Structure 1
Amino acid sequence: MAFDLASLRAAMARHGRVTRVVIAATHGSTPREVGAMMLVWEGGQSGTIGGGALEFELARLARAQTAPRRFSRHVLGPEMGQCCGGAVEVLSEVYTAAELDAMADRPVIARAVSPKGEMPLAVSRLIAMERAQGILPDPQMIEGWMVEPVARASRALWIWGAGHVGRALVEVLAPLPGVQITWVDTGVERFPEHIPVGISVLPAQDPARLVGHAPREAEHLVLTYSHALDLELCHALLTHGFASAGLIGSATKWARFAKRLAGLGHAPDQIARITCPIGQPALGKHPQMIAIGVAAEFLNPALNAGTKRRSSFA
């Protein structure tokens, strides 16, 4: 877990005042680990610290919070009526845009949970270790100071297409930590009204022209409304380069695409890098079923193992 500045900034831009609630310490059996967090605003929230009575109560307190920072301890059994026998210490914070800007270049965010005192030596050592060796600390509370690494996207995922499957994929994949999703389609009207926090939306009349702007280490999922556009995107991706690429389609569609891509000058071993169909066909054709299968492969590429499976996705 890490401090996701981008998601917090996006939530504030959309909802105004947002309270970030993070588990600072745990004792005994608890629903979530240190660093688990949620963002709370009037009328909504995102993320989770474990659900149930604890989350409900802390969300209520967050909406009523007037101070910039609030620290509290909660015993889950006697206080919340939860079966977990442990206790949690929770830090709830409200930031300004200026404060987030000031933290933008920090790899580690450390702050006192109560009125500020001198930074403890143990915290200073963690920060120095990151500067000297690039080693990020785990989220933890040390001598009254909360320490969290700043979230950095380690994987870039481009999703081409905002139809039913594209929307289902974004809903499933958006909450994953460490993933920066860029979502492309031919017009703004193709996207849903509500976009998950942290998603970069790029409407473009000619999506294939955007392929050149994707990092060569990016991963791609191609699932537009048009087979012709799908083919154009596959051609552009093979020309540009990618870490991985998946195409929604049937075995028949893939056979035709492979032949046409060969005709465009791509070698068989390069064409074979595109996975088609995506997901787990045994799960079914419903958009959410496809999304679940694709997400499983995204989290565990060994499930795919580079093989081409037969499917009737079209």
Structure 2
Amino acid sequence: MAFELETLRHAVRQHGCVARVVVAETVGSTPREPGAAMLVWQDGQSGTIGGGELEHRAAEEARAMLPAGQDRECRHALGPSLGQCCGGAVVLRTEVYDAPRAAALPDTVIARGPDEMPLSVRRLLADARGQGRPCDVQRLDGWLIEPVARPETRLWIWGAGHVGRALAEVLAPLPGMAITWVDTAPERFPDNPPDAITILPATRPEQLVHHAPTDAHHLILTFSHALDLELCHRLLSHGFASAGLIGSATKWARFRSRLGALGHSSASISRITCPIGDPTLGKHPQAIAIGVAAAILSGETAAIGRNDAKDSCA
């Protein structure tokens, strides 16, 4: 687990004052591990520390803390006091963030605790920040230390139709995701898109391809076959980690022919997979999103789709 700093900052921008509740310490059997966190604001919340009565009470207490803006830690025995079956105990740390405080957080490792920072913590931070050594969520001499999450998967979703929306909803909560979502106009996107997604409306989306990192993954599913083809063409010229195209066997055969005519080799074209997701799960937008998410979680991002395309109307 790691501190989802960009998610916190995005929530503060959207909702104002936000409380972050993090599992700081565990003893015995508990729903979640140290570092699991949720964000709470006046009329909502995101993330989870394990659900059940513990989460319900923690959210209520965090919401009550928002006006005062103070931090606190509290130990909860899950069995006796909350009636949860786990039987262990957790220490929850609740911190209230406004925009200035969230902006001031360091972007490598976040440490906080009582009194003056001990030498052990200073040494750990020096190693992590100065020498780039990774560290885990931990307690050290009474201080809570959390590394800041780094995006492990950069994903660009091209298209905000039914499948694009399903993909955004399913993939946005996954840890380590940095999602950029592109379509032709602001009204193409939902009114309340998932937190921490970068929305890019562009009259000519294909012109954004050169802004994408060459290690990004791409899912192409716009309303236009012509735009889909142009995106494939530009990505093949630009470079990418993986690319998936929604479509049928007929569409993909036509695209392979046209991409070949544009000068791309068969080996290069074969790096694009079509259809995306797992066809055995069906064609429902959420089923496609689940298939893509499973591929990402299993580390098979080079095969976010399968090349055993059968005809569909996509």
The answer, yes or no, to whether TM exceeds 0.5 is yes
Gaps of 5+ in 1: none
Paired position in structure 2 for 1:92: 94
Structure 1 position 27, deviation (Å): 0.4
Counterpart mapping for 1:280-295 below 5 A: 280-295=278-293
Question: TM-score by structure 2 length?
Answer: 0.95
1:227-273, Cα deviation, whole Å (9 max, x unpaired): 11111110111111111100011111111100010011111110000
Summarize the Cα distance change of 1:305–1:228 in structure 2 as closer, same or farther, 3 Å threshold: closer
Paired position in structure 1 for 2:111: 110
1:197-221, Cα deviation, whole Å (9 max, x unpaired): 1100000111000001111111100
Paired position in structure 1 for 2:61: 61
Structure 1 position 67, deviation (Å): 4.2
Counterpart mapping for 1:146-225 below 5 A: 146-225=144-223
Aligned length: 310
Kindly report structure 1 stretches of 4+ aligned residues shifted beyond 3 Å.
301-307
Structure 1 position 222, deviation (Å): 0.3
Query: Which amino acid in structure 2 is aligned with residue 71 of structure 1?
Result: E
1:56-109, Cα deviation, whole Å (9 max, x unpaired): 1100000001342011000001111110010000000012322222224x4111
Inter-partner Cα distance in structure 2 for 1:8 and 1:132: 24
Summarize the Cα distance change of 1:29–1:310 in structure 2 as closer, same or farther, 3 Å threshold: same
Q: Does the aligned pair in 1 maintain the 2:79–2:87 contact within 8 Å?
A: yes
Counterpart mapping for 1:8-27 below 5 A: 8-27=8-27
Inter-partner Cα distance in structure 2 for 1:67 and 1:255: 59
Structure 1 position 125, deviation (Å): 2.3
Summarize the Cα distance change of 1:306–1:295 in structure 2 as closer, same or farther, 3 Å threshold: closer
Query: Which amino acid in structure 1 is aligned with residue 43 of structure 2?
Result: G
Aligned partner (choices 258, 267, 270) of residue 269 of structure 1: 267
Paired position in structure 1 for 2:29: 29
Q: Does the aligned pair in 1 maintain the 2:155–2:218 contact within 8 Å?
A: yes
Question: TM-score by structure 1 length?
Answer: 0.95
Cα RMSD of the aligned pairs, angstroms, is: 1.5
Q: Percent identity?
A: 62
Gaps of 5+ in 2: none
Inter-partner Cα distance in structure 2 for 1:254 and 1:268: 13
